[in-house]
Amino acid sequence: MPIKTILACISSAEASATTLEVAYRLAGKSGAHIEALHVRADPRGLVPYTGEGMDGSMIEEIMEVTEKEGGERAESARAMFDAFCRDKGLALSDTPGGDGPTAFWREETGREDEIVAVRGRLFDLVAVGRARREAPLPSPITLEAALLDTGRPIVIAPSTLPAATGRHIAVAWETSPEAARAIAQSIPLLAAAEKVTLLAGEPAVAPNIAPEEGVARLAWSGVKAEIKRFDVHEAEIGAAYLKHSGAVGADLLVKGAYSQSRLRQMILGGRTRHIITHTEIPVYLAH
């Protein structure tokens, strides 16, 4: 099934411009609909975290500042979205119809991670940015909620983008259930790509399926792939995937996302977190 709906998480104009661009590039391959979701923080949610000894007037002042900053951030994000749609000639619609991609702005109030976790379940793909020093939004918690709680694949947009997205796709060849889901769910993108390269680290981690088997199976879906082998220690595999994605000239990396249990929640595994933190190309992840 082609990708027909994409949720783009728009935290701020500064941090989310590339998120919207990646969503648009992928939407253009299948005429998909993009919902740009901006979540305003609810000032009332800050009350439990205010320090002891703060009187009512101080708490009220904090809430007013939070609401003001949230309003300014929302206005700036909406202006960025509107300008983007005008520049791309992107039709604004919240109902199916037409041949090309469409977009719609949605704004909610609450905790961004909680809203994204639920809202994302309605879409084929969730696009999200990553925090960086000059733009601390979106929160890493939001990114993890998109990946671990929506049940959908996500695409992570770095702060700068290559000239294209999805022309040459690198696939992290692993045989985990997460990797199997990532490859299966990305078939529409792989089939539309001009080139697909399986990145196969050696020695492979057991249980192993030879990458040649992957090439053969992808061919049944109309995907012609080649193999790039490289020697690597297991502890350095995340960095190796990024290195060799760049070496082959890929503009999108597909990978299964590992997680580790931590009492009440899940946290991302080391190689997945390394890729999220350091990638310079968009990354398609499935958990």
User: Do both 177 and 274 map to the same domain?
Assistant: yes
Low-confidence ranges of the chain (pLDDT < 50): 262-266
Is residue 126 in a domain?
yes
User: Do both 37 and 105 map to the same domain?
Assistant: yes
Is residue 266 in a domain?
yes
Q: What is the pLDDT of residue 54?
A: 63
Number of Cβ within 10 Å of residue 25's Cβ equals 21
Instruction: List residues bridging with 159 in a β-sheet.
Output: none
User: Do both 144 and 178 map to the same domain?
Assistant: no
Spell out the residues 6+ positions from residue 170 whose beta carbon is closer than 8 angstroms to its own.
196, 197, 198, 199, 228, 241, 244, 245, 248, 250, 252, 253, 254
User: Do both 136 and 228 map to the same domain?
Assistant: no
Most distant CA atoms of the chain, gap in Å:
68
Is residue 162 in a domain?
no
Is residue 276 in a domain?
yes
User: Do both 113 and 243 map to the same domain?
Assistant: no
User: Do both 201 and 114 map to the same domain?
Assistant: no
Is residue 163 in a domain?
no
pLDDT tens-digit readout, 130-183: 866 665 557 888 999 999 999 999 999 999 999 999 999 999 999 889 999 999
Last residue of a domain, one of 132, 157, 182: 157
Last residue of a domain, one of 157, 189, 222: 157
4, 207, 211 from 9: Cα distances, Å: 16, 36, 34
User: Do both 73 and 180 map to the same domain?
Assistant: no
User: Do both 93 and 199 map to the same domain?
Assistant: no
Is residue 173 in a domain?
yes
Yes or no: say if 121 and 151 are a contact pair by the CB < 8 Å rule.
Answer: yes
Yes or no: say if 26 and 32 are a contact pair by the CB < 8 Å rule.
Answer: yes
Question: What range does the domain containing 249 cover?
Answer: 168-286
User: Do both 206 and 97 map to the same domain?
Assistant: no
- What is the Cα–Cα distance from 44 to 38, expressed in whole angstroms? 18
Last residue of a domain, one of 157, 191, 210: 157
* Ramachandran region, residue 53 (left: φ > 0; alpha: ψ -120 to 50; beta: rest): left
User: Do both 129 and 175 map to the same domain?
Assistant: no
CATH number at residue 271: 3.40.50.620
pTM of the predicted structure, to 2 decimals = 0.91
Is residue 133 in a domain?
yes
Domains of the chain: total: 2
User: Do both 27 and 102 map to the same domain?
Assistant: yes
- What is the Cα–Cα distance from 162 to 238, expressed in whole angstroms? 20
Hey, is 168 helix, strand or coil? strand
Instruction: List residues bridging with 230 in a β-sheet.
Output: 201
- What is the Cα–Cα distance from 68 to 128, expressed in whole angstroms? 24
User: Do both 91 and 226 map to the same domain?
Assistant: no
